[in-house]
Amino acid sequence: MSRKLEQLAFDNSFGRLPPAFYSRLMPTPFEYPPYLISFNRDVAELIGLDPEEVQRPEFLAYLTGEKPWPGSDPLAMLYAGHQFGHYVPQLGDGRAILLGEVRNVQGDKWDLQLKGCGITPYSRQGDGRAVLRSTIREYLCSEAMHGLGIPTTRALCIIGSEEEVYREEIESGAMLLRVAPSHVRFGSFEVFYYRGQHDQIRVLADYVIEQHYPELAAHPQKYVEWLRQIVSRTARLIAQWQTVGFAHGVMNTDNMSILGLTLDYGPYGFLEQFDPGFICNHSDHHGRYAFDQQPHVALWNLACLAQALTPLMSVDEAKGALAEYESTFITHYYDLMRQKLGLPELNEQAVSVVDALLELVREDSRDYTLTLRALAQFRSGREANNHLLRDHFIQRAKFDRWAHAYNTILLQYHSNDAERAQQMNACNPKYILRNYLAQIAIRKAQDEKDYSEIDRLLLALRNPFAEQPEFEPYAAEPPDWAKTISVSCSS
């Protein structure tokens, strides 16, 4: 059942915590009349909102802070975090306000957070605004990640205005309504640990467990088990990132979700030519958040969280939980990769053939996504001919050796080519959000006020594994000019 705007079942359980965790304030409306740029009907249905409500003038008024949204309880959340390895004692929602949380008819709870809605007590020297460029990037990528089956925040809409916002240059201001089960981060606990406010750590931990890990409430070692589950969720999330070639770009502890969600899309990028050392963030001068460093950085960030939770458990218990990260990550990563190759079991043979393929793809600088998608065309059998696949590679002899090893495994399992191709195409996306695709949508929006490409990409990325003839150009290798795109933390 869908509801009108005023009928959404608003609550704000986070707002019932002590005031030390947040600051209450209203969003600051744009100086100029807002207008709708894109609306995600799927997310409207997710939160139980009638999609037709977007037609009402109250929609923009409520979402931009021109009018108080009935039932909402706006606040900016406090947190700290390690940014590029250095602890920053207070961060918080500097340009975002949690409007509240709504429950849909299934009973699922969703935070509604408005980004770009003005200065908060945590803005530091910032203006509290977001720009159209960054909101488009987050809006599209969060939906792309959802389509890929990766835990993520999502977004209901982009709202634009003629308000000017300065980043490297003057840009158009925009707001994004983000949706997630929770916006609590690793840094939400760090701020109280470094302040020596250990009672607040327990209060917040009990809140998160009650709201999101209720099965642990009666566990004799609930905090330790809770940390173990956070470690597991994070390890599995990073394994998913690595298998689809996603680089986050700014894995600070304040950008790490306590629920294992992909959070805060900024200078992200998907691998094109397979380069494990790929750095998507132009601001990351030392490559701390390079693609191949993400598994290590995630563990480092988990160690920061574990340290912040030591008032609730012994150091040895925290270390024990962290010790499970590596095996969880490796197992899940290779299990996903063997599925992408259509292999029925995870064993040493599967690991070997995965590693050998990635080495070949790296040496030949092949497109990661297109290569894995093309492998569904591989034909098994003693007389099988794979010359078309072979022609993808420069090192033909090395491909032949790999193909022989791969074919041997397929024969052992009596692999059926048609069934395996279907299974592989369900694991290897045809469409990813390449930076140049997002850039085309951004340029049209900025230069021509043409927002149709945003909606068109949204449709394609919702079904990244399906053959979609109308979106075939999105599956091509990127043009040469795409190599000049540069994204930074301001993205």
**Are residues 102 and 48 in contact, defined by beta-carbon separation less than 8 angstroms?**
yes
* C-alpha–C-alpha distance, residues 238 and 214, integer Å: 24
Please name the residues in contact with 401: beta carbons below 8 A apart, sequence gap of 6 or more: none
Percent of the chain with pLDDT over 90: 93
pLDDT-derived band at 164, boundaries 50, 70, 90? very high
Neighbours of 469 (CB within 10 A): 5
**Total domains present in the chain:** 2
Number of H helices and E strands in the chain, helices first, is 16, 13
* C-alpha–C-alpha distance, residues 113 and 14, integer Å: 12
Q: Which of 133, 156, 130 has the alpha carbon at shortest distance from 143?
A: 156
Residues 388, 439 within the same domain: no
| Paired sense of beta strands 269-270 and 246-247, if any | antiparallel
Residues 227, 111 within the same domain: yes
Q: Which of 321, 326, 197, 308 has the alpha carbon at shortest distance from 256?
A: 308
Active site residue ranges: 254
pLDDT-derived band at 491, boundaries 50, 70, 90? low
Last residue of a domain, one of 394, 425, 456: 425
Last residue of a domain, one of 425, 442, 472: 425
Please name the residues in contact with 219: beta carbons below 8 A apart, sequence gap of 6 or more: 225
pLDDT (tens digit per residue) in 10-61: 999 999 999 999 999 999 999 999 999 999 999 999 999 999 999 999 999 9
Q: What is the mean pLDDT of the chain?
A: 96
Residues 368, 439 within the same domain: no
Residues 312, 440 within the same domain: yes
364 — phi, psi (to 5°)?
A: -90, 0
Residues 85, 138 within the same domain: yes
Name residue 22's beta-bridge partners: 77
Span 291-304, average pLDDT: 98
Residue-range definition of the domain harbouring residue 411: 343-425
Q: pTM above 0.95?
A: yes
* C-alpha–C-alpha distance, residues 267 and 277, integer Å: 16
Residue 251 above 60 pLDDT?
yes
Dmax (CA) of the chain: 71
Residues 16, 113 within the same domain: yes
Give the CA count within 13 Å in the CB-facing half-sphere of 342: 29
Residues 440, 409 within the same domain: no
Q: What is the DSSP string of 23-40?
A: EE------SS--EEEEE-
| pLDDT, position 407 | 96
pLDDT (tens digit per residue) in 318-332: 999 999 999 999 999
Name residue 273's beta-bridge partners: 367
pLDDT-derived band at 392, boundaries 50, 70, 90? confident
**Are residues 66 and 60 in contact, defined by beta-carbon separation less than 8 angstroms?**
yes
Please name the residues in contact with 416: beta carbons below 8 A apart, sequence gap of 6 or more: none
Span 384-388, average pLDDT: 86
* C-alpha–C-alpha distance, residues 204 and 186, integer Å: 11
Residues 185, 322 within the same domain: yes
Q: Which of 166, 173, 164, 153 has the alpha carbon at shortest distance from 64?
A: 173
Residues 39, 78 within the same domain: yes
Last residue of a domain, one of 425, 448, 470: 425
**Helix orientation angle between 325-340 and 294-308, rounded to the nearest 10 degrees:** 150
